[in-house]
Amino acid sequence: MRYLGILISSIILLSACSKSPGVGGKATVSGKVNAIYVNEDSFDTVEVSAFPETRVYIVYGDGSTQDDDTRTSPDGSFKFEYLNPGDYTVYTYSESLVSPSEMEEVSAQVTVEKSQDDVTVPTLTVVKYVK
């Protein structure tokens, strides 16, 4: 009976030690946000370049709400550090091609396989209307 208690305690402790997606690890998820700048009157593309100072969000695992966020640097790059292995969704918001007053989510899903991985998110491209 005593051994059964030790076995159950060991199983509980080992399962409690398994890490889920999120902070606490050594992995990083990074990427870049580019913008297609569109003239709001003619709908012509004015420029395609990095999109600085925009918020990028990350969701850990299969969650439905953001777990962390950061801002892009002047070259449009971003980084989330100290992550555990697991699945992540990275997203930002773009003005809609259908209507400049509407926003839509632009996202990518990535998987961190190993504890020290540096995973690169495919470039997130947003639309920004300009005069």
Domain positions in the chain are 19-130
pLDDT digits (tens, 9 = 90+) for 82-104: 999 999 999 999 999 887 789 99
The mean pLDDT of 54-79, rounded to a whole number, is 97
* Cα 59 to Cα 83: distance, rounded to the nearest angstrom: 11
125 DSSP 8-state letter: E
Q: What is the pLDDT of residue 4?
A: 54
Which one is predicted more confidently, 19 or 85? 85
Percent of the chain clearing pLDDT 70 (strictly above): 85
The mean pLDDT of 59-75, rounded to a whole number, is 96
The DSSP H or E segment spanning 106 is strand 103-112
* Cα 19 to Cα 27: distance, rounded to the nearest angstrom: 13
Residue 11 has pLDDT above 70, yes or no: no
b/e code 27-58 from CB counts within 10 Å (16+ = b):
bbbbbbbebbbbeeeeeeeeeeebbeebebbb
* HEC readout, 69-102: EEECCCCCEEEEEEECCEEEEEEEEEECCCCCCC
Q: What is the pLDDT of residue 87?
A: 97
Task: Report yes or no on whether pTM surpasses 0.85.
Answer: no
The DSSP H or E segment spanning 110 is strand 103-112
CATH node for 19-130: 2.60.40.10
**3 state SS of 116:** coil
Residue 1 has pLDDT above 80, yes or no: no
Q: Record the tokens describing residue 101, joined without a space.
A: 């007053």
